[in-house]
Amino acid sequence: MPRSKHALLVPALAAVLFAAGAAVAADGRSVYLRCVACHGVAAEGVASTGAPPLAGLHAAYLQRQLQSFASGARGAKPGDKYGTSMRSAGAPLLSSDTERAAVASYLSTLKPGVQRTPGRTTANGRNYFNAVCGACHGSGGEGNPALGAPRLAGLPEAYLARQFAAFQSGQRGYQPDDRYGIQMRTITTMLPDAETVRDVIAYAASLRP
Amino acid sequence: MDKKQLQRFAVIAMVAIVAAGASHIYTRHTMVTAPSAPAESTSMALAGARGAAGAVPGYLVDPGRAAGQILVVKPEDSVQDAVARAQPGDTIQIMPGVYHQTVYIDKDDIALVGVIHGSDWPTFDGEGKRNDAVLYSGNGVRVENLKIVNYKGNAIMGQAGNNFVIRHNRIANSGVYGIFPEFAQNGLIEYNELTGIEDAAIYVGMCDNIEVAHNEVHGNVAGIEIENSRHAIVENNTAYDNAGGILAFITPGLPIKTTFDVVIRNNFVVANNHKNFGAPGSIVSGVPSGTGIIVMAADDVIIENNFIRDNKNAGIIVADHKSFANITPDPEADPNPDRVSVLWNLFDNNGSDPIKEVRALMVAGLTREGPDLVAVGGGSGSCVAAAGTLKALNIGGWGACKRTSSADIATYLLDKPAAPRALTTADRGKLIYSSVCAGCHAYNVRMVGPPTQIIQALYLGNAQGIADYIANPVKKRADFPPMPPQSHLNADLRLAVAQYLLTVAPPKPVPARP
């Protein structure tokens, strides 16, 4: 783990790295260049790679997810194809907390892309979204950093569906100290059936950021 | 209008004029006599007024109760200190002036009575900072003659206090609910004026035996709402310029699962076309602007002799849970409105600009006329009188009413005060959940605050975390009203209610009736 390696370094070297880290923090954009192959130049997401849009997500959320990929709290379950790619190819591109913070901070300043494929919306989807999801993700799906809830508006329907299924099956939220993940796993049980899940996700995907 | 309708309109107008006059005289009477003999004058006046009308008297105050002391409070004084000194039966007399205070009455038989000199009222001003003006959990509490402005949560909220009287208060811009008795039996709400409330101005929640009369509600999202309550009469009120005028609802996910025996009569329900300014995603934000009266899932509702005019969406909507926005089902609550009786009412110029769901029904019904009465969704046993005199949509399954009037139902108030709710140590958490929390938190839908099931998921069994948070909440959700501090409950009670909240179980499906 990068973090534990740092802990072994002699203090002088640590000071040098700290200075380098500070320089990186000022330039999250150049760090992000390592991610564009999958997530797109404007962090708009690339459907063919399954990589979600990152532009304009909350910095704390992005940083937490990067740390989770690095530590194995996300993406380490067998059968999680996209999680495995992110852990094997993506997470190692960022070697430190400083770099993760820098790139998260940079991405949070980007303007989210406009919804490209407005979903089919139903009253059922709206009602359950407001009854279940809206309490943390906001009635407009805007997310809420105070609750650790990411923005959902403007994310692709396929990505949202995949993440919901991952929480449902335990491919996300499996570590005992992953508080937000465990919360989400509980909450996925509150939608009564698969049709409602589809309706709610279509509604969330139809919201504009 | 034909001649018969004109005659009936004249009768309504006369009743209203007489009622307005009675209100004026009665108010003066109360003001003059309350300081000397408050409790007795009230119960006698109430019984007298009903007796004169030939009705059964309702008793909200035990006639055998001893006369108490009068404690005079001036603006520089603390009303809460007076409550601390007061004994059951006492009257706290509040002199004109401005009070930047919150009062919590946890004793029985206390009257909080304002003194009005000319145009000088005692005014409680929350300055946009305080949550509630008056909270009470005692039984036999009376709150009258107060002006209440600029609170964030409630103007007057009752928490399981039975036998209450809330009368002749003027309430403006004071949060989510104006007058809100929760989980109570036997109470009277009359001669109040309320405006600028973000949810229901008068919200009767999970109550029994309630009278709501002679109030004026305007400029609110909902004017008067009878919700998960039984045996309520809403009469002689004026509801205008709200998004929805008068509502009888079953809201899913609450501890009480039914609403029935509601009489809505002799009200003016006019031009309720205000923009709906309820919090986005909440149930009340689903009330279509322009609706006079809404019955959602409530049973045995009588709507009679109301003057229902100029409501742009519809005069009356009778809907099931499925047809209403932001409602998700509660398997323990019947989603259908059954046995709704729309007796004779005076309708004029409703439905001039209906919402698209109503328009779709108009298309299906081959009419261009917006409705006085529209039914959407399920329900059975409903009826309408004089169907030919109103523009009705989608009431094919409705019959003709056998009942011709509600005159046999004089009052639902009890003929003696209701006993206090039992409060044992074991179930105090449950009582507080029902009488405080459930005012805003339903189990599985968004009323005002986040649903209980979401709170359970977020706190992961940490009752102390909830108890600590509710003592001193911080705002976390931009599109929700702020959670009010519950510091009037002591630490033990806060923990008890938090522990109970974590155990509330999802509603279970009720087996279908054979």
Which positions in chain A have a beta carbon within 8 angstroms of at least one beta carbon in chain B?
123, 126-132, 134-136, 138-140, 144, 146-147, 179, 182-183, 186-187, 190
Q: What is the mean pLDDT of residues B179-193?
A: 97
Q: Is the pLDDT of residue B383 over 60?
A: yes
Q: What is the nearest CA distance from B223 to chain A, expressed in angstroms?
A: 23
Q: What is the 3-state secondary structure (H, E, C) of B345-403?
A: CEEECCCCCCCHHHHHHHHHCCCCCCCCEEEECCCCCCEECCHHHCCEECCCCCEECCC
- Output the six-digit token pair for B252: 């899913």
Contact B280 A186 (CB under 8 A): no
Residue at which a domain ends, from A109, A141, A159: A109
Listed as ranges, residues in chain A with pLDDT below 50 are: 1-25
For A183, the closest of B282, B445, B458 (CB atoms) is B458
**CA-to-CA distance for A62 and A94, rounded, in angstroms?**
13
The CATH number given to whatever domain includes residue A105 is 1.10.760.10
pLDDT tens per residue, range B258-289: 999 999 999 999 999 999 999 988 899 999 99
How many domains are contained in chain A?
2
Q: How confident is the model at residue B426 (pLDDT cuts 50, 70, 90)?
A: low
pLDDT tens per residue, range B60-115: 666 666 678 999 999 999 999 999 999 999 999 999 999 999 999 999 999 999 99
* Minimum Cα–Cα distance from A196: chain B residue: B328
The whole-number pLDDT of residue B35 equals 34
- A34 and A132 housed in the same domain: no
Model pTM above 0.80: yes
- A8 and A103 housed in the same domain: yes
Classified as helix, coil or strand, A94 is: coil
* Minimum Cα–Cα distance from A134: chain B residue: B281
Given a contact cutoff of 8 angstroms between Cβ atoms, the answer to whether B257 and B229 are in contact is no
Q: What is the mean pLDDT of residues B412-424?
A: 86
A117 assigned to some structural domain: no
- A105 and A127 housed in the same domain: no
The whole-number pLDDT of residue A7 equals 41
- A9 and A92 housed in the same domain: yes
Considering only CB atoms, which chain B residues are within 8 Å of A179?
Answer: 460
- A100 and A131 housed in the same domain: no
- A6 and A104 housed in the same domain: yes
Q: How confident is the model at residue B18 (pLDDT cuts 50, 70, 90)?
A: very low
* Minimum Cα–Cα distance from B279: chain A residue: A139
Give the residue with greater pLDDT, B268 vs B2.
Answer: B268
For B454, the closest of A129, A136, A144 (CB atoms) is A136
- Output the six-digit token pair for B218: 């305007």
Burial of residue A77 (CB within 10 Å: 0-12, 13-18, 19+) is middle
Q: Is the pLDDT of residue B433 over 70?
A: yes
Which positions in chain B have a beta carbon within 8 angstroms of at least one beta carbon in chain A?
279-282, 325-328, 444-446, 450-451, 453-454, 456-458, 460, 476-480
A118 assigned to some structural domain: no
Of all residues in chain B, the percent with pLDDT exceeding 90 is 77
Given a contact cutoff of 8 angstroms between Cβ atoms, the answer to whether B417 and B60 are in contact is yes
The separation between CA A112 and the C-alpha centre of its own chain, rounded to angstroms, equals 14
Classified as helix, coil or strand, B155 is: strand
Q: What is the mean pLDDT of residues B305-316?
A: 98
A114 assigned to some structural domain: no
For A186, the closest of B446, B457, B479 (CB atoms) is B457
A115 assigned to some structural domain: no
Considering only CB atoms, which chain A residues are within 8 Å of B444?
Answer: 131-132, 190
Count H helices, E strands: chain B? 8, 34
- String of b and e for B237-275 (b: at least 16 CB within 10 Å)? bbbbbbbbbbbbbbbbbbbbbbbbbbbbbbbbbbbbbbe
The whole-number pLDDT of residue B317 equals 97
- A13 and A53 housed in the same domain: yes
Given a contact cutoff of 8 angstroms between Cβ atoms, the answer to whether B79 and B103 are in contact is yes
CA atoms within 13 Å, Cβ hemisphere of B189: 35
**CA-to-CA distance for A192 and B64, rounded, in angstroms?**
54
Q: What is the nearest CA distance from B37 to chain A, expressed in angstroms?
A: 50
The whole-number pLDDT of residue B463 equals 96
* Minimum Cα–Cα distance from A180: chain B residue: B458
Given a contact cutoff of 8 angstroms between Cβ atoms, the answer to whether B111 and B91 are in contact is yes
The separation between CA A85 and the C-alpha centre of its own chain, rounded to angstroms, equals 14
For B328, the closest of A131, A140, A146 (CB atoms) is A131
Q: Is the pLDDT of residue B227 over 80?
A: yes
Give the residue with greater pLDDT, B301 vs A118.
Answer: B301
Contact B446 A126 (CB under 8 A): no
Give the residue with greater pLDDT, B64 vs B118.
Answer: B118
- Terminal Cα-to-Cα distance of chain B (whole angstroms): 47
Q: How confident is the model at residue B373 (pLDDT cuts 50, 70, 90)?
A: very high
A91 assigned to some structural domain: yes
- A129 and A77 housed in the same domain: no
Q: Which domain holds residue A139?
A: 123-206
Which of A129, A130, A188 should one mutate to test binding to chain B, selecting the residue with the greatest count of B CBs within 10 A? A130
Q: Is the pLDDT of residue B256 over 90?
A: yes
- Terminal Cα-to-Cα distance of chain A (whole angstroms): 35
The whole-number pLDDT of residue B70 equals 95
For B446, the closest of A131, A140, A187 (CB atoms) is A131
Q: Is the pLDDT of residue B133 over 90?
A: yes
pLDDT tens per residue, range A169-203: 999 999 999 999 999 999 999 999 999 999 999 99
Given a contact cutoff of 8 angstroms between Cβ atoms, the answer to whether B282 and A131 are in contact is no
Contact A136 B453 (CB under 8 A): no
The whole-number pLDDT of residue B145 equals 98
Q: What is the mean pLDDT of residues B223-243?
A: 98
The whole-number pLDDT of residue B386 equals 86
Given a contact cutoff of 8 angstroms between Cβ atoms, the answer to whether A102 and A31 are in contact is yes
Which residue type occupies B95? M
* Minimum Cα–Cα distance from A147: chain B residue: B476
For A139, the closest of B280, B328, B454 (CB atoms) is B280
- A104 and A133 housed in the same domain: no
- A22 and A96 housed in the same domain: yes
| Residue closest to B105 by CA, chosen among B170, B160, B31 | B160
A145 assigned to some structural domain: yes
| ipTM of this complex | 0.81
**Highest averaged pLDDT of the listed ranges B46-55, B252-261, B418-427:** B252-261
- A17 and A48 housed in the same domain: yes
- A25 and A76 housed in the same domain: yes
**CA-to-CA distance for B55 and B198, rounded, in angstroms?**
35
The whole-number pLDDT of residue A89 equals 84
**CA-to-CA distance for B96 and B92, rounded, in angstroms?**
13
Residue at which a domain ends, from A76, A109, A142: A109
Residue at which a domain ends, from A55, A80, A109: A109
The whole-number pLDDT of residue B228 equals 98
A116 assigned to some structural domain: no
Q: How many CB pairs under 8 A join A and B?
A: 69
Give the containing element (helix H, strand E) for B50. helix B38-52
The sheet carrying B346-348 orders its strands as B97-99, B122-125, B147-149, B170-172, B193-195, B216-218, B238-240, B268-270, B307-309, B346-348
Q: What is the mean pLDDT of residues B165-193?
A: 97
The whole-number pLDDT of residue B99 equals 98
Question: Using CA of residue B313, residue B317, residue B321, residue B323, what is the dihedral sign?
Answer: negative
Count H helices, E strands: chain A? 12, 0
**CA-to-CA distance for B204 and B164, rounded, in angstroms?**
12
Burial of residue B305 (CB within 10 Å: 0-12, 13-18, 19+) is buried
Q: Is the pLDDT of residue B305 over 80?
A: yes
Q: What is the mean pLDDT of residues B286-307?
A: 97
| Residue closest to B166 by CA, chosen among B140, B131, B197 | B140
Angstrom distances, CA of residue A9 to CA of A18, A71, A93, B228: 12, 20, 20, 66
If phi over 0 gives left and psi between -120 and 50 gives alpha, with beta otherwise, what is residue B211? beta
